[in-house]
Amino acid sequence: MQADIEQIASRYSRLAEAFTHIPEGARHLQRLQDLNTSWQNMLCTNTPGHYVEVVVTEARSVVSANNTFDIIYAGGGLNVLNAAVMAQRYGLRVLIFDRFMVGAVHREWNISCEELQDLLDIGLLTADELASVTQREYSDGLVRFHAGGIKVSPADLHLKNVLNIAIDAEKLTALCVKKILAQPSGEGGPNVILHHTTFVHCSVQPVQGVTVDVIQASGELRSYRAQLLIDGMGATSPIACQLNSGRPFSLVCPTVGTVAHGYRNGCAPDEINPEIGEVLVSTEDARNGRQLIWEAFPGAGDQVAIYLFYYAETGSQIDLLQLFDDFFTLLPSYKGTSTVEIIKPVYGFIPAGYNISLPWQRKRKVLAYDHVLSLGDAAAFQSPLTFCGFGSYVRNLRRITTLLHQALKSNCLLAEDLNRIRASEAVPAVARAFSKFMIAKSGEPLWQVNETLNIFCRVLQDLGPQVTNDFFKDRVSWHDYTRIVLRTPRYYPRIYTLALKTLTPAEMLGWITAWFKLGLQSVQYRLHRSLRLFTQSVFGQKAAAILDRTFPHAGLHLAIWCESMEQVERGRHTGNKPSKRDMTSMVRERGLGHWLGGKWPHG
């Protein structure tokens, strides 16, 4: 520990001082440096088209039955939730390995109560188990951007039921690991958890599946076989890098922070209100080309998780060590720290790579190779505004596990099939444009990001809490999203000029394409609802079963569509229909097209 601290102290003095006193500081510092180096090597020094091939198609010798599984999970963070569902609900034999500890996480998790319901509905947790991993529930969530230099009126945003539940991440993953190990042994043997095991290579045999080579903690090279390999190795996944020709992500949110106790409770800006989660807060204009943003989430007892992050393009130079040094330097200007004791650091790269492609481009973000699929941070379909990977993962957990089971059952494990099994893209794709406006750019005023985001908060204030709630949970409807876009120029006419500077022509066309696709999803949902009586009938279920047996690939594609529509259904809110007076004013204010758009279902 001492040698590492001395090496970084000359450049990152605040970081070095803090990690000297943090429990298990040496372990965290090593993991932080490893993560930082991996990111720099993979996404900063590499150029597109240059990557290491870690997945290849080649013949391999037979692996023993004891070392053969249904699914192998590379990476033991969020994907332990997926593995627990596949083992517990579908009785599959799984292996999970991680280069550190399976189930260990380096970020805390927040989510809404209604989203957690999916964990109950899918059978992963009981109500008592869910209560045991819940640390705190907030009555309000604050979004506030610095108003010091802006030329518009500031607008705070108060969120209800958005990221308002603090989850004990390590307790949840430990519970999932326990469930995995407790599953009865099948013919091939029990489920297996391997700590301190590093991924090396994956050989694909189209008939037999995959053979995965790993180095275990002892230094021994071992091989395991499965029908499917799930890549959950996060933002620095070499598999995701290979699948996307060296550049798997377009945006990234470098994040650092601490879980600590001893903050003063109160309602002052530098105090912690246990009833409020601070979702997005900036306290100054951009510095050094970065618009720094804070989050503060009270947890169990007097514990508080505080994060500092910013939005960036993946090609830019990013240094978690420098960001951590800034965190410890700037934290006293955000919250009083005179009596604070750090429990543990939190850190990571939260990547994003949405499928925003031009109409004539066939290539989209690639998630799959034959018998190999990326999920979680390796897939990088996060919430585009809050970059909440946990919320996105939970919202898509039922959809993904259901489709994985069908793909395994019908042996539809080629890349063209697996690549369709991904998180919902419709809303994140159109909302990605908002992420771009949160990136500080050279040549623009230092207050520009704060000014733009204050306008955004004002628009959401006007549209009401339900639209705001839907937007932050990646389920905003085509109609409401269009209202957000068209209402913004009313308060901020220069948004057109700013958009042309912020989005490249290709990104602008891609965004328009994504907007049309969101509308198409709404039309498809209307069709789905009209067919529901047939699809849920005995005759419809028998027809689907015949399709699965006769044309398994077509059956999987139909299931993917149905699961997408069911996910839209789960995300819909039931509101009051507008009165005739409301509809008349809507027509006058925004035109007939908007009134007709209101008739579309939520997407």
Alpha-carbon torsion 260, 263, 266, 271, what sign? negative
User: Which pLDDT tens digit goes with each residue over 17-43?
Assistant: 999 989 888 888 888 888 888 887 765
CA angle 582, 585, 591 (to 5 degrees): 120
Whether residue 478 contacts residue 572, with contact meaning beta carbons closer than 8 Å, is answered with: no
Task: Give mean pLDDT, residues 366-389.
Answer: 81
C-beta atoms surrounding 341 within 10 Å: 13
Q: Residue 405 is which amino acid?
A: H
Residue 578 predicted with pLDDT over 60: no
**Sheet with strand 134-137: strands edge to edge:** 109-111, 165-167, 134-137
pTM for the whole thing? 0.89
Residue 361 predicted with pLDDT over 70: no
User: Which pLDDT tens digit goes with each residue over 114-133?
Assistant: 889 999 999 999 999 999 99
β-pairing verdict for 68-74 and 221-231: parallel
Which range, 349-353, 428-432, 516-520, is most confident? 516-520
Instruction: Place 291 in a pLDDT band, splitting at 50, 70 and 90.
Output: very high
Task: Give mean pLDDT, residues 165-180.
Answer: 95
Task: Give mean pLDDT, residues 305-329.
Answer: 91
Residue 379 predicted with pLDDT over 80: yes
Task: Give mean pLDDT, residues 345-373.
Answer: 75
Task: Give mean pLDDT, residues 303-324.
Answer: 90
Residue 227 predicted with pLDDT over 70: yes
DSSP 8-state code for residue 41: I
Task: Give mean pLDDT, residues 418-445.
Answer: 87
β-pairing verdict for 198-205 and 55-57: parallel
- The region of weakest confidence among 188-202, 274-288, 358-372, 427-441 is 358-372
β-pairing verdict for 368-369 and 134-137: unpaired
Q: Residue 496 is which amino acid?
A: Y
User: Which pLDDT tens digit goes with each residue over 531-569?
Assistant: 888 888 898 889 988 998 999 999 999 999 999 999 888
Q: Strand, coil or helix: what is 348?
A: strand
Angle between helices 478-491 and 448-463 (to 10 degrees): 120
Average pLDDT for the chain:
87
Residue 238 predicted with pLDDT over 80: yes
CA angle 73, 74, 77 (to 5 degrees): 85
Task: Give mean pLDDT, residues 191-206.
Answer: 95
Kindly list the distances between the CA atom of residue 541 and the CA atoms of 235, 411, 544, 547, in Å, as whole numbers in the listed order: 40, 20, 5, 10
CA distance 570 to 496: 35
Residue 574 predicted with pLDDT over 70: no
pLDDT at site 189: 86
Q: State what percent of residues in the chain have pLDDT above 90.
A: 61
Kindly list the distances between the CA atom of residue 65 and the CA atoms of 111, 201, 203, 212, 228, in Å, as whole numbers in the listed order: 40, 20, 17, 14, 15
* β strands within 353-501, DSSP E: 368-369, 372-374
Residue 185 predicted with pLDDT over 80: no
DSSP 8-state code for residue 419: T
Helix (H), strand (E), coil (C) string for 247-265: CCCCEEEEEEEEEEECCCE
pLDDT at site 218: 92
CA angle 7, 10, 11 (to 5 degrees): 95
Nearest to 177 by CA among 79, 89, 107: 79
pLDDT at site 38: 83
Residue 152 predicted with pLDDT over 90: yes
Task: Return the higher-pLDDT residue of 72 and 592.
Answer: 72
How many Cα atoms are found within 13 Å in the side-chain-facing hemisphere of 43?
A: 29
- The region of weakest confidence among 24-33, 352-361, 423-432, 566-575 is 352-361
CA distance 218 to 50: 31
Task: Give mean pLDDT, residues 519-525.
Answer: 93
